Amino acid sequence: MKILVLNGSPMEKSRTRGITNLVKELLQEKNVTISTIDLGIEKLPLFPGEGTDENNITLQKLKREAEAADAFFIASPEYHNGMSGALKNALDFLGGSHFKHKPVAIAAASGGSKGGINALNNMRTVLRGLYALVLPDQFVSDPYCYDEAYQLNDREAVERLEDLTHLLVEMTETRIGIQSEQTQ
């Protein structure tokens, strides 16, 4: 089973990366093959509409890893009530061929005061446009959930993320099982 973990924050120092760091650890414990795209480190060009530079190394990696993935874990900061522009830009380079009927877990880092839900709803709407199977469960976190190094350290938040990661693996196993039955 291969899962692509995508950090949608464009920031060098990022709470959203605190989410994806923990998710990668949790997936490793479950012997899942992980690939990672971190938009705070691996910068993509702006989606040009046409005339995309297909030689861009990060873009090639994004498309290759998305195609190969059985499932996705996608995390975004909430920026102005939506996902980050960096994440939406990355998704614009992809399509149904990368996501169709693949399980996707979504998570958000917010500024607090009940933020985050709009980013999650926005991700859900956009991923529906890519024909992804977005899990009904989701994860949202406030700044108090993180330590000074921006790692997730609130016990309840960690448990919620463990549950979501576990569900993603279960759903992906189920989908892989159904697919292999269909090809027999």
Ligand X SMILES: Cc1cc2nc3c(=O)[nH]c(=O)nc-3n(C[C@H](O)[C@H](O)[C@H](O)COP(=O)(O)O)c2cc1C
Contact residues toward ligand X (CB under 6 A) are 9, 11, 14-16, 77-81, 109-111, 115-116
Comparison of 79 and 93: residue with beta carbon closer to ligand X? 79
Comparison of 16 and 21: residue with beta carbon closer to ligand X? 16
Q: What's the closest the beta carbon of residue 149 comes to ligand X, in angstroms? A: 12
Pairing state between β 103-109 and 71-77: parallel
Task: Using CB positions, name the residue nearest to ligand X.
Answer: 115
Q: What's the closest the beta carbon of residue 73 comes to ligand X, in angstroms? A: 15
The contacts of residue 76 (CB under 8 Å, 6+ apart) are 8, 9, 16, 83, 84, 87, 106, 107, 108, 109, 119, 123
CB 47: neighbour CB atoms within 10 A? Answer: 15
Q: What's the closest the beta carbon of residue 70 comes to ligand X, in angstroms? A: 26
Q: What's the closest the beta carbon of residue 15 comes to ligand X, in angstroms? A: 4
Comparison of 114 and 181: residue with beta carbon closer to ligand X? 114
CB 135: neighbour CB atoms within 10 A? Answer: 18
